Amino acid sequence: MTKKGNGVTLIELLIVVAIMGVLVSIAVTTYSGVRSRKVFEGEIDEIVADLRLTMSRSLAQEGGEQWGVHFGNPAGSGNDFYEVWNGLSYASGTIVNQIQLDVSVALTDPPSGGTKDVIFSKSTGLPTASFDVELMSISGNSTATIDINTQGRINLLLN
């Protein structure tokens, strides 16, 4: 009677390596999706915070001017931005801060090639009109709508 060895066959080893490969690919895919979502949510949180700060500056009549936020969506991808400004209008005002959006985040409203100004009244600090700003993650699995109403409430809807 011959005794079999206690080793591992090549086929068993290949099966284990294949299973590990599948598990690693699932983990990497899941991690990248979670990371993408966190970057997107971080960008949205920063925009909302800047809108609230700008509204507060206008209410306090900081600099004796009205304040606003200008959203720009130049044609092409990866170059969307917003700017905080003060003055009579965006065109004649002073840009206080320019923020470039992460390349994984895109504005969808204003549409490509467009701009949108959220203006806060100097006398009340409230928006002069209702505004919506819409964004999406480049991966396409997340969208957000930031709604600013005339009472100064900033609502966020994440999808």
Reduced 3-state DSSP string for 31-44: HHHHHHHHHHHHHH
Is residue 7 a part of any domain in this protein? no
Is residue 25 a part of any domain in this protein? no
61 backbone φψ class: left, alpha, beta (φ>0; ψ -120 to 50): left
Q: How far apart are CA 109 and CA 130, in angstroms?
A: 14
pTM of the complete model: 0.81
Is residue 117 a part of any domain in this protein? yes
Domain count, the chain: 1
Q: How far apart are CA 84 and CA 35, in angstroms?
A: 28
Q: How far apart are CA 90 and CA 25, in angstroms?
A: 48
Is residue 18 a part of any domain in this protein? no
Query: How confident is the model over 18-64, as pLDDT tens digits?
Result: 999 999 888 887 777 778 888 899 999 999 999 999 999 999 999 99
Give pLDDT, residue 4: 65
Is residue 11 a part of any domain in this protein? no
Query: How confident is the model over 88-103, as pLDDT tens digits?
Result: 999 999 999 999 999 9
Is residue 59 a part of any domain in this protein? yes
The boundaries of the domain holding residue 70 are: 34-158
Give pLDDT, residue 33: 75
Is residue 87 a part of any domain in this protein? yes
CATH code for the domain in which residue 52 is found: 3.55.40.10
Q: Which residues contact 36 (CB under 8 A, 6 or more apart)?
A: 104, 137, 139, 141, 142
